[in-house]
Amino acid sequence: MADFRVDQAAGLRRLFGSHGLQVVTFVAGCEGVGRSVTVANLGVALARLGKEVLIIDEHAPGDDIAATFGMQGAYDLLNVVQRELPLQQVLLRPMSGLSILPAAKAVRKLGRLSLHQQQTLVDAMSGLERSVDVILVDATIAHPAGFSPFGLVSQETVVVLSGNSASITEAYALIKKVSHAFSRRHFRILVNKVRSLDDARSIYQNIAQVATQRGVATLDYAGAIPYDEALRTASQLCRPVLFQVPDSPAANAFRDLAADMQYWQQGDAGQGGVEQFLQQLLHLSQRITPNVLRA
């Protein structure tokens, strides 16, 4: 599994820091590709690199990021929007530097919030006790609009897929749908549960070639996570693999990916911090036409 380690040039990139808020949304064309496990472990890895990380989770309890840490969220971001609870009471904090924000109910209503509720959301998120460096969004494939608005306004949208043909087909269909509906023309591809780096590269090159030839989108290679029994063990124990088996090939791959993520090229979206990002999110959410994305 040594070929899953990044090359030495990556070490040079890590000498140079990035600034501003980084927002990365993780999506998938189908379930079962390991998207949530990926987000949880990347959150741990980034926190251990000294970043203050916020994971926004669009999934309902029981199938959410909190469960990956053996935790259970009792509330939702919607409770904050409706002024029923303060944000700090909704947040979960499994470790230093990492917070989880359950938001399954809230994301379904982003497009229907009143102006007063929108301002409540912006004020609450902008007033976080700790300044956030990275927001990771674990996006659901069952969003009522057909695609998470987070994936449209994030600086980076990462499509997670595995090596099976159904996963690849569904991932491409998702990219094509979002590209045509909203002119989102750049995605990153993360190949999960693969036996070798060569397999991962081949899968990426094939889907990227088709997307380019058909003028759908430009796809960049985010990396690969190996098929590793340590992931299964950690999942059964409700712990990230970085906690349970820190020296496993999968844990090493997550650390390498997290280190590289910090230096993905960032646009202007991160310059205004959490407040500007949320304003863009709310602006877009009010204008999404669900039928367009469902087509």
User: Beta strands of the chain (E only): which ranges?
Assistant: 22-27, 53-57, 92-95, 98-102, 134-138, 156-161, 186-194, 218-226
Q: Is 12 within the bounds of a domain?
A: no
Total domains, the chain: 1
- Cα–Cα dist 236/46, whole Å: 23
pLDDT band at 130; cut points 50, 70, 90: confident
DSSP per-residue string spanning 192-257: EEES-HHHHHHHHHHHHHHHHHTTS-EEEEEEEEE--HHHHHHHHTTS-HHHH-TTSHHHHHHHHH
In a domain, 14, yes or no: no
Measured distance CA(213)–CA(230) in Å, rounded: 38
Q: Which domain holds residue 35?
A: 28-294
Provide CB contacts within 8 A for 154, sequence distance 6+. Answer: 23, 24, 25, 137, 269
- Among residues 129, 115, 120, 114, which one has the least CA distance to residue 79? 120
| Residue 11 located in a structural domain | no
Read off the CATH number of the domain in which 158 is found: 3.40.50.300
- Domain assignment present for residue 10? The answer is no
**Rounded Cα–Cα distance for residues 73 and 138 (Å):** 15
Note whether residue 18 is domain-resident.
no
CA neighbor of 180 nearest in space, from 208, 226, 216: 216
89 domain-assigned: yes
Place of tokens 């609009």: 145
pLDDT band at 61 (very low <50, low <70, confident <90, very high): confident
Q: Whole-angstrom Cα distance, residue 171 to residue 30?
A: 7
106-117 burial, b at 16+ Cβ within 10 Å, e below that, comes to bbbebbebeeeb
| pTM (two decimals) | 0.90
- pLDDT on residue 7: 42
202-259, pLDDT tens digit by residue?
A: 999 999 999 999 999 999 999 999 999 999 999 999 999 999 999 999 999 999 999 9
Distance (Å, whole) CA 19 – CA 153? 18
What pairs with residue 219 in β-bridges? 187
Q: Round the average pLDDT of the chain to a whole number and report it.
A: 88
Residue 9 domain-assigned (yes or no): no
